[in-house]
Chains A and B, each alone.
Chain A
Amino acid sequence: METRNLICINCPLGCPLTVTLENGEVVKVEGNTCKRGEIYAKKEVTAPTRTVTSTVRAIGGERPVVAVRTKTDVPKSKIFAVMEAINAAEIETPVRIGDVVIENVCGTGVDVVASASLQRAR
């Protein structure tokens, strides 16, 4: 038996949640006031994921960097590995929203894509 304490992020109430796990399986969620809290707690203790947003170096752009994001969530544990890949990447301008910057970043199956457009420097 293992317990984990979380704060629910679904609304400003911020319920303190206590999750009980047995062999990696969630057996009990306590402290939540609604169903959304339970769903959040289960995901957060078994497979937490996040969207990573940052910038990459833009070659020949009117600004030196352009905004990027992971197209969907990636495992929380991979955030810094993803950041390393993003820091090493660069993209030719012009850039359009959705342009793929890194395919399948860190083996997550998720692409890093441009989240802003950027013109070439005049």
Chain B
Amino acid sequence: MKREIVIIGGGPAGLAAALAAKEAGAKDVLILERDVRLGGILNQCIHNGFGLHTFKEELTGPEYAARFEEKVMETDAEVWLSTMVLSLSKDRVITAVSREKGLVTIEAGAVILAMGCRERSRGALNIPGFRPAGIYSAGTAQRLVNMEGQMPGHEVVILGSGDIGLIMARRMTLEGAKVKVVAELQPYSGGLKRNIVQCLDDYGIPLKLSHTVTEIRGKDRVTGVVISEVDDRLQPIPGTEEYYSCDTLLLSVGLIPENELSTGAGVELSRATNGPTVNERLMTSVPGVFACGNVLHVHDLVDYVSEEAAAAGRAAAEYIANGQPERSGGAEIPIAVGGGVRYTVPSAVDPAHMPELLTVRFRVGNIYKNVYTSVYFDGERVLHRKKQVMAPGEMEQVVLKRADLLGKNVGKITVTTEED
């Protein structure tokens, strides 16, 4: 079958993309969602703190998802639930499967990648020791507690102080478990200050920075873990081992964009983000394939996911409507990074096709205090903004104006941090 816009993933990114595509006049929008309901990971994020930017109130995950879901349902966008996309080709042919529809092949006019991300597993960390039951990624534990109503453990150690880990420290405590310690490899936490105070400090849960799990004990079920301090090269320091008895180890050690479908279609990925490289329209290296949300780069606030996904939805609608040049090639200005900036999304801009105001999102690789964010057009500094603090856990952004770039013959844009 032929469809105009097919969105892979019905989480916050897919929902916002669908809504924006419909609002931009797209006639035919289809969302393919692998779960039994829309909303993606938000369904299990039952804590509050979502939507401050978008709705000016503090919603829980399911409440935030429901707002978008209701709006999508008011449009004629079609949703297929429990549908798994098996493959995507470079000419946008999607193979999907579901219990109801069986194997389906869809030729899409445009595809929006909105598959989200997965959690890094224990294996990726190479933590030595046994492989017992009781080691869960924080997200798996969150699903078990919040969706299935099951208690994954009573005495818990958490490795990694990303927001999901912090949130789960509080969730497990409220459900009656004892959270003994949160260990963080880095000398700083990747989580929000608010979560450190309200999820750990409120309950007297210690956070050990520059510490990691160096051994897992227990052959059947976890019986304890050894935690060691690490040096400035993040290597465990012999003699600092401390044993914690526990029946559960939760891991909150990073998120990885899920791009197996994308690579199958020949989409080029960025080594810095593990997501597709995209241009000003969030189009990947494969014409007509767009990306947004955590499959593009891992976000910390869902509000920004919605904003970014809406831009992808509009771009896809425009692509279908106008049959735009697929990628501008030589007309694209590359965005380079400097200083502490690790990457930018997008990584190239064609002034002819960018919106009037283009948000360029980026992350820094370390903690920086009282430094400037600067933007250069070739040698000319066009933005210079002081920030009291920048941290790897907080996404930053600059806004580029189309009027500043159009017809200026800029060869390179640089986003960088500077001491002065």
A97 within 8 A of B: yes
Partner of A50, one of B149, B198, B390, B393: B198
A63 to B148, CA, bound (A): 7
Please provide the chain B residues from 40 to 65 with a CB less than 8 Å away from any CB of chain A in the complex.
Answer: 43, 46-48, 58, 60, 62-63
Give the residues from 175 to 217 in chain B that come closer than 8 angstroms, CB to CB, to chain A. Answer: 175, 192-194, 196-198, 201-202
- Give 1 or 0 for each of A67-96: 1 = CB within 8 Å of chain B CB: 101000000100100010000000000000
Report the Cα distance A51→B369, complex, angstroms. Answer: 31
Smallest CB–CB gap between B394 and chain A, Å?
A: 5
Q: Which of A11, A33, A57, A63 contacts B147 (CB 8 A)?
A: A63
User: CB-CB < 8 A to A83: which residues of B?
Assistant: 174
Inside 8 A of A104's CB, which chain B residues have their CB? none
B322 at the interface (CB under 8 A from A): no
**Is A117 touching B66 in the complex (CB atoms < 8 A)?**
yes
Min C-beta distance of A53 to chain B, whole Å: 5
Q: Is A26 an interface residue (CB 8 A)?
A: no
> Which residues of chain B from 3 to 19 have any CB-CB distance to chain A below 8 Å in the complex?
none
- Residues of chain A lying within 8 A (CB to CB) of residue B58: 51
Question: Quick one: closest B residue to A83, CB to CB?
Answer: B174
Complex Cα spacing A50 to B201, Å: 13
Q: How far is the CA of A69 from the CA of B197 in the complex (A)?
A: 19
Residue from the list B43, B48, B388 in contact with A33, Cβ < 8 A:
B388
Inter-chain contacts of A51 with B (CB < 8 A): 48, 58
Q: Which residues of A contact B390 (CB under 8 A)?
A: 12
Do B175 and A54 touch (CB < 8 A)?
yes
Per the bound structure, the CA–CA distance linking A52 and B46 in Å amounts to 10
Q: Are A11 and B389 in contact (CB under 8 A)?
A: yes
Q: Chain A contact residues: over half helix, strand or loop, or mixed?
A: loop
- A7 adjacent to B175 (CB under 8 Å): no
> Is A109 in contact with chain B by the CB < 8 A criterion?
no
Which residues in A have their C-beta under 8 angstroms from that of B255? none
A100 to chain B, nearest CB (A): 15
Question: Would you call A8 an interface residue if the criterion is a C-beta within 8 Å of the partner chain's C-beta atoms?
Answer: yes
Contact: A14 with B193, CB < 8 Å?
yes
User: Is B391 an interface residue, CB under 8 A from the partner?
Assistant: yes
Distance in Å from the Cβ of A36 to the closest Cβ of chain B?
A: 12
Q: Does B146 contact A (CB under 8 A)?
A: yes
Give Cα A57–Cα B63 distance, bound, in whole angstroms. 19
Residue of A12, A67, A76 near B192 (CB, 8 A) is: A12
CB distance A115 to B46 under 8 Å? yes
Q: Hey, which chain B residues are within 8 Å of A33, CB to CB?
A: 388
Q: Is the CB of B389 within 8 A of A55?
A: no
- Whether B148 pairs with A12 at a CB distance below 8 angstroms is no
Give the chain B neighbours of A76 by CB distance below 8 A: 202
Given known contacts A52-B174, A67-B146, A9 and B194 CB-to-CB distance under 8 angstroms: yes
- Report the Cα distance A65→B43, complex, angstroms: 12
Q: Let me know if A69 and B391 touch, CB within 8 A.
A: no
* B43-A116 in contact (CB<8A): yes
Within 8 A of B (CB), among A1-49: 6-14, 33
Contact across chains for A53 and B46 when beta carbons are under 8 A apart: yes
A102 nearest CB across to chain B (Å): 15
> Which B residues from 136 to 171 make CB contacts under 8 A with A?
145-149, 171
Closest to A82 in B: B174
| Chain A residue at minimal CB-CB distance from B67 | A97
**Are B47 and A53 in contact (CB-based, < 8 A)?**
yes
CB distance from A122 to the nearest CB of B (A): 11
B46–A55 touching, CB < 8 Å: yes
Nearest CB on B from A72, distance (A): 9
Q: Which of B48, B148, B393 interacts with A69 by CB under 8 Å?
A: B48
* Residues of A in contact with B (beta carbons under 8 Å apart): 6-14, 33, 50-55, 57, 63-65, 67, 69, 76, 79, 83, 97, 115-117
9 A-B Cβ contacts within 8 A? A7-B197, A7-B201, A13-B388, A63-B148, A65-B146, A65-B147, A76-B202, A116-B66, A117-B62
